[in-house]
Structure 1
Amino acid sequence: MGPHELAVDRIATTVRALYSRRESYRIFHGSTNSTRPVQKDCVVDISEMSNVVKIDPVSKVAIVEPNVSMDKLVEATLEHGLIPPIVMEFPGITVGGGYAGSAGESSSFKYGYFDQTVNSVEMVLANGEIVTASRTERPDLFKGAAGALGTLGITTLIELQLIPAKKFVKTTYYRTGNIPDTIRAIRQETKGLSNDYVDSIIFSKSHGVVITGQLTDDKPDSAKPQTFSKAWDPWFYLHVKEKTDLESLSLPVTDYIPLADYLFRYDRGGFWVGVEAFRYFGFIPFNRVTRWLLDDFMHTRMLYRALHGSNRSFGFMVQDLSLPYSKVEEFVDYTSQELGIWPLWLCPLREMDPPSFHPCTTLPGPGDVPEPMLNIGLWGQASSNMDAFVRQNRELENKLTELGGRKVLYSHTYYTEQEFWHLYDLGWYDDLRQRYSATTLPTVYDKVKVDVSKYRKGLSWAQRLVSLWPFPGLAGIYWAIRSKDYLLHRNSAWIHNRISKNPRS
């Protein structure tokens, strides 16, 4: 057996032993992009499964193990002049995470969720059996495991589609003056056949920007490439704001962005969440010089590690919430009034056929026609009081449900079990768990719920003491530096510079 087969055999052997004891487990990937508190349960370690097994330029597919990160995947595919149709905006997000979660990006209006660009997966079921699932082989498992957070088995190999790469993304910024115009413009741009990417940033109720991207090899000689990966480069959202700040701006503004810089344009600063690190310490000004000096700490691999190291996932609203287009304005009005969080990120999503754990919605009436959705990235400071923070989340969930929306399940979730299974199809899911021997595994609800009482009981007096400012922030920095994610970030920066200079080799 080759290295991959040996690794899968070891995982299957471990899983079979756990299954024989009817012992539940979670999957350890080596890192996480979830914002939920870390839970210390029995784990199956699959962190070694991080290899690109094969790139086939003829059939335009990549065969990769689940822990291959986005930057590593893009580096491998660009050597053949190809890229995945959907590349999640953070370099550390993995292929397996994209399949098992609800991963989308600015090309999702065209291609759907990341798993909808996957041809097949190899899985170790909860009883240790090794199977393949695709649209034609075990199609129920293939659809059900996408978005089910590893609760139907362990994904060990993924074959995904690729498309031709180009040198640049011609990126155009359209200023809008109110929320309704922004929503209409997004929907209109998703119908444009020439657009490969569409997303939007809303800075305020009177300043929206709709952003489109077109893959191209052609750049006017007069246009200087705009990069976002170097320490002295602007953060993307600040660049967009500066380009569109004038209320009188009537004509669109265009950049030619090297492909890798476009794909990971939100990495530096984690969209704009990195600003909170400056606000937390207070004495560090937020300007171009300090962003340059602290650049190593402002990439998403480091920000996630610092978040978990500081144990400060409570107090920050980090939610992705998807709604029907017709309800987005009302929801933005609600978040503006109740939370006052700006900017907001809007990402259009293709319609999704239920049942699924992906956000999806249907039009009322006969046939339940699936409807496209608009994802809202709501990321910012919330209440530092635990009870008030939980209340804010509960009220947000209630409003989302009222408007026919769903959240992406990487984040804090406070639904009661009854509420959760009212939103998702428990009968469909239970049938899959029975059919594929997954009843010993945690359910999706088990994985996503945040048990505040358990969290509070788990804190010692020393932990409560160090929860006071500035200890959590210092702890976050310590854990970020000592982790292998720091080395991964440094390696990622090297990869990024290399593929930015020559995006096809």
Structure 2
Amino acid sequence: MNSAWEQHEAAVARLRASYAAIPAGEPVRLAKRTTNLFRARTATSAPGLDVSGLTGVIEVDPAARTADVQGMCTYEDLVDATLPHGLIPFVVPQLRTITLGGAVTGLGIEATSFRNGLPHESVLEMDVFTGAGEVVTTRPGEDLFDTFPNSYGSLGYATRLKIRLEKVPPYVRLRHVRFDDADLLAKTIAEVTLSKEYGGQRVDGLDGVAFGPGEYYLTLARFTDISTIPRTGQGPSDYHSGQAIFYRSIQERETDLLTMYDYLWRWDTDWFWCSGAFGAQHPLIRRFWPERLRRSDVYMKLLGLDRRFHIADRLDRRAGRPLRERVVQDIEVPVENLAAFLEWFDEEIGMRPVWLCPLVAGRAWPSYPLEPNRTYVNVGFWGTVHVGPEAVEAPKNRAIEAKVHQLGGHKSLYSEAFYDQETFDALYDGANLAAVKRRYDPDDRLTSLYDKAVKRR
């Protein structure tokens, strides 16, 4: 056994010891300082699980195109280990500090999901630390493995995952195609997802942005060895260290070229478009904003300060603006219902822009029951809406939940949810979740998915 595996075993031993130190009857949770969740965590004085040694890549096998990765390893560190071999995970979520275990238990997504599904679909096996304090190795087809995606720690925490890797060239050519009609946009998404081509050219990555009614773009990515844009001879763009901002480039140019590395993190530098809330997109401020701090995790910390001190609310009160409702969601609807959702969203919510990302699940996954081999589109929107005193009742979020349900879709659970227990169980197969939880967490040490995602304390 090499040192990396020995270090992994030692880290698991520390994890077990930290579990043993949690008093009986106290809830089991991670001792983790950072998070990509947008819902409050339940406060507790009990110590958490020590996962500090589970943050790395154990081994990359370039010949087999696999990697053994610890559960708390970020995709940034994972890509740093695989890309020198010309390999990347099948799906690399948009933000650098999302962990592999988090993406599997919480459903990550990105532009390769229209052909590669979701992150858990390229996992070959994983070790899960359960509520019973045991490490269980589980594989596709077994109840714990199949129920784990979208369980958000209610069934345990992944300590090791063995994943498949994809061979990639050094560069990515982009083509930004505008659509004025949402129905045509949806039809094109369905066609590209089926054929993996557009205009006779291979498509390796597919996502898009709705900037507003009548202004929709699909970004078609083609992985390539060519280091310049044909005809112009222009080299790769830089949306990290300079003044240029990626999402704005979608409206400004029809073609682009990025290195594979910069393509993977094109959304992280400005947290999609959300960095504008902190002034990071203002030319004068951006000039002096250090490159190393142009990252989603930095903006997340700034958001935490705003939540703690209610800075935005105080400014709104001083300016006489209505109270804000935070609307931070990712939802999925069948592609044939995308136009209906966008039309409704524009009229009822009015948030601009929103992200579009097609996906196809290769098989059924009970905790997030998408129909296999059916094209869905993830719609992501992250911001606030001025609604007035009723903001505390979350009317916009509740309306979104109802509309998504009506259109045969689902919503991710990293943010606020408001479903009653019966509806929640129907949408996320609560009966199966409960049965699997009883098997691997017989003393009910782990918080249930409904309590994590919906209940307020």
* TM-score, structure 2 normalization: 0.87
- 1:230 matches 2:240: yes
What stretches of structure 1 move > 4 A for 4+ residues in a row? 295-298, 352-355
Partners of 1:14 and 1:167 in 2: how far apart? 42
Asked whether 1:411 is paired with 2:415, we answer: yes
Does the CA contact (< 8 Å) of 1:324 and 1:372 recur in 2? yes
Q: Distance in 2 between matches of 1:24 and 1:266?
A: 35
1:125-204 matched pairs, under 5 angstroms: 125-135=130-140, 139-193=142-196, 194-204=202-212
1:315 partner SS: strand
What are structure 2's unaligned runs of at least 5 residues? 197-201, 313-323
Is contact 1:102-1:409 (8 Å) kept?
A: no
Q: Structure 2 matches for 1:5-20, cutoff 5 A?
A: 5-16=9-20, 18=22
Q: SS of 2:274's equivalent?
A: coil
Secondary structure at the counterpart of residue 162 of structure 1: strand
Q: Work out whether 1:108 is the aligned partner of 2:104.
A: no
Residue of structure 2 in register with 1:23 after alignment: 26
Deviation at 1:88, TM superposition (A): 1.0
- Where in structure 2 are the equivalents of 1:327-338 lying within 5 Å? 327-338=337-348
Letter in 1 for 2:165: L
Amino acid across the alignment from 1:202: A
Q: CA deviation at 1:370?
A: 5.8
* 1:310 is the counterpart of 2:306: yes
**Structure 2 letter corresponding to 1:434:** R
Mark the CA change 1:352 to 1:411 in structure 2 (over 3 Å): closer, same or farther.
farther
Contact 1:82 1:163 in 2 (8 A): yes
* Cα distance in 2, alignment partners of residues 443 and 386 from structure 1: 32
**Match for residue 366 of structure 2 among 353, 356, 375:** 356
C-alpha deviation, 1:444, in angstroms: 0.8
- Counterpart for residue 267 of structure 1: 268
Name the aligned partner's letter for residue 269 of structure 1. Answer: D
Post-superposition Cα deviations, 1:438-478, rounded to whole Å, max 9, x if no partner, equal 53210111111252xx4xxxxxxxxxxxxxxxxxxxxxxxx
Identity %: 27
Q: Tell me, in whole angstroms, the C-alpha distance in 1 between the residues paired with 2:270 and 2:306.
A: 18
1:142 shift after superposition: 0.8
* Aligned mates of 2:145, 2:343 — CA distance in 1: 38
**C-alpha displacement at 1:382, in angstroms?**
1.5
Contact 1:16 1:127 survives alignment (8 Å): no
Give CA-to-partner distance per residue, 1:225-277, whole Å, 9 cap, x none: 3334433141111111122xxxxxxxxx2222111111110112211112222
Distance 1:401 1:38 in 2: 26
Aligned match of 2:286? 291
Structure 2 counterpart of 1:201, one-letter code: V
> Residue type matched to 2:105 in 1?
A
CA distance in 1, matches of 2:361, 2:106: 17
Gap regions ≥5 residues in structure 1: 244-252, 279-283, 363-368, 455-505
Q: 1:62 aligns with which of 54, 60, 67?
A: 67
Contact (CA 8 Å) 2:356, 2:379: kept in 1 or not?
yes
Question: 2:349 is matched by which residue type in structure 1?
Answer: L
Q: Work out whether residues 179 and 206 of structure 1, in 8 Å CA contact, stay in contact via their aligned partners in 2.
A: yes
Asked whether 1:241 is paired with 2:251, we answer: yes
Counterpart of 1:345 in 2: which secondary structure?
Answer: strand
- C-alpha separation in 2, matches of 1:393 and 1:274: 22
Q: Per the alignment, in what secondary structure is the counterpart of residue 85 of structure 2?
A: coil
Whole-Å separation in 2 of the counterparts to 1:287 and 1:306: 17
Output the CA distance in 2 between the equivalents of 1:291 and 1:39. Answer: 36
CA distance in 1, matches of 2:252, 2:455: 38
**1:400-434: CA deviations, max 9, x gaps?**
11111111111111222232113121221111012
Name 1:281's counterpart in structure 2: none
Aligned-partner Cα distance in 1 for 2:246–2:78? 22
CA contact (8 A) 1:38 1:308 kept: no
1:385–1:16 distance in 2 versus 1, CA, 3 Å = farther
User: 97-106 or 30-39: which moved more?
Assistant: 30-39
Query: Which residue of the partner structure matches residue 400 of structure 1?
Result: 404
User: How many corresponding residue pairs?
Assistant: 427
Higher alpha-carbon deviation: 107-116 or 330-339? 330-339
* Shift in Å, 1:223: 2.8
Match in the other structure for 1:495: none
- Asked whether the equivalents of residues 193 and 375 of structure 2 are also in contact (C-alpha less than 8 Å), the reply is no
Q: 1:334 to 1:261 in 2, by over 3 A?
A: same
